[in-house]
Amino acid sequence: MAKVHLRKVTRENFRECLNLQVTELQKSWVATTTQSLAEAYVDPNLFPLAVYDGSVCGYEQPEAPMIGFTMYEIVAGVGFIIRLMIDQKYQRQGYGKATMIEVIRRLKLYPDVEMIATSYRQGNKIAAELYQGLGFRQWDISDAISNPTEVYVKLED
């Protein structure tokens, strides 16, 4: 099973982060890393993280390329996984799922987090299946958030 290692985005690795690419079709499903890092710069509730293969754990400078990016937010008792992307070169190798499992593990360590949730654009079947397989189910918050093109799901325990 694929394993990932998550690291902070720093001066050393941010260029690699900006170069991460998804497929042409997937571009409409996820914000660019440039946008995500800009959002994180102005919002202290956001935690952006670079995704590496698990083998770089323990190395001061990763000896392997960055393979993806994720970002979560902690607000009002909810740990919300706001971004998940695996570079197109490394997709379908289990890294997306492994990243979600690692982010969920981390979110469960925050005493403030009572619920773990995420969302995806309607029509993003890959994300829908991935989240469903991990135990996420429909979260009806349409009254709170009026974005009809986004599907919200929360982790059921």
Ligand X SMILES: CC(C)(COP(=O)(O)OP(=O)(O)OC[C@H]1O[C@@H](n2cnc3c(N)ncnc32)[C@H](O)[C@@H]1OP(=O)(O)O)[C@@H](O)C(=O)NCCC(=O)NCCS
- Interface residues with ligand X (CB under 6 A)? 22, 26, 29-30, 83-86, 91-97, 120, 124, 126-127, 129-130
Q: Which is nearer to ligand X, 129 or 156 (CB)?
A: 129
**Rounded least distance, CB 15 to ligand X, Å:** 19
Burial class of residue 157 (count of CB atoms within 10 Å of its CB; 0-12, 13-18, 19+):
exposed
Q: Which is nearer to ligand X, 12 or 35 (CB)?
A: 35
**Rounded least distance, CB 28 to ligand X, Å:** 9
How far apart are alpha carbons 26 and 23 in whole angstroms? Answer: 5
How far apart are alpha carbons 107 and 91 in whole angstroms? Answer: 24
**Rounded least distance, CB 111 to ligand X, Å:** 26
Q: Which is nearer to ligand X, 12 or 150 (CB)?
A: 150
Residue 22's nearest CA partner among 77, 84, 106 is 84
